[in-house]
Structure 1
């Protein structure tokens, strides 16, 4: 059974959704990032970057244990393990991978910064809010144009590219988005949200997560605790 070290965040939900969609048995080990669980030695042994999610599969590609961190790498691994949500055709495969990289390099980092400066930062910095809100709108525009001519993000079939992007767009209100500007993307979002595997995936650990309101949690997530030796 796959062990999933995770929390109820967009990156965590990517892996929860993939596991639910594939029907793989798994056991969740909650890593409360607001309480500093990500700095515990047992987690760092699996995820040296002290970020969730990470997995341990006792039955890796060669039948031996494998540990993986980085949500994109985990999605690629699970797609290869199950033969699902990644095309076998080489051209189509690279189409999926480029949109997965678009999420990993753009959607996740930029929308994460948008959340930070619009919601979590103790000081409201107009320049930062405007800069990242504008970038969020740009990224939404890229995806909306893509979905005007493609059923799913990477082509005609649902893939790990869709799974990777969907959780980040659930927080559209925090990103200053008005859906009237992105009708094709909104239709895609609603369709993905209706999938039973997706609905199960976003519920994983959802009851455990609490609003980020205390200074100690902010220190763990945004302060010097991130790079101190633990």
Structure 2
């Protein structure tokens, strides 16, 4: 079964003024669609991989489960499809962004000392990621939370590739295409504004199929 571009759970204008509608439209219909299209092209050569699903493909990236002919495509385009599918879900309109649930806040307080301390660490991961990539909040295998970042379209599910594997529950896209139309070269300005539309805890689902 071919992968498809998931619809946004809100209008392109919903995140304004913090993320503009034109950026959202291009990001969703052009960039994300390209990852879906290229992932489907790669999988079509090895239909036996269809049963893995999106999460399974990402977990298998960098391992012998993925044929060498499409290893790079799965890593890049499978990662891009998963990352964006989660990214859309963790955001919401500014008036609906009420922060994490009580359980998640308690876990954040335990891991980082406070939500503000967590934000500072997350912002640092996003700001200092060299070039294109992502910042993440993940649940590690031992159940503890951690902040990490990855290059390009890598993600913490790709355990054979990344330094800090885990299940992503919050991800921030810091590729320039995510913010350049509005914020130009100010990645910190974009990161600061992003907290006005994230996280929407009710929609944060670590399992994207």
Q: Is TM-score (shorter-chain normalized) higher than 0.5? A: no
Structure with greater proportional helix content: 1
TM normalised by structure 2 equals: 0.30
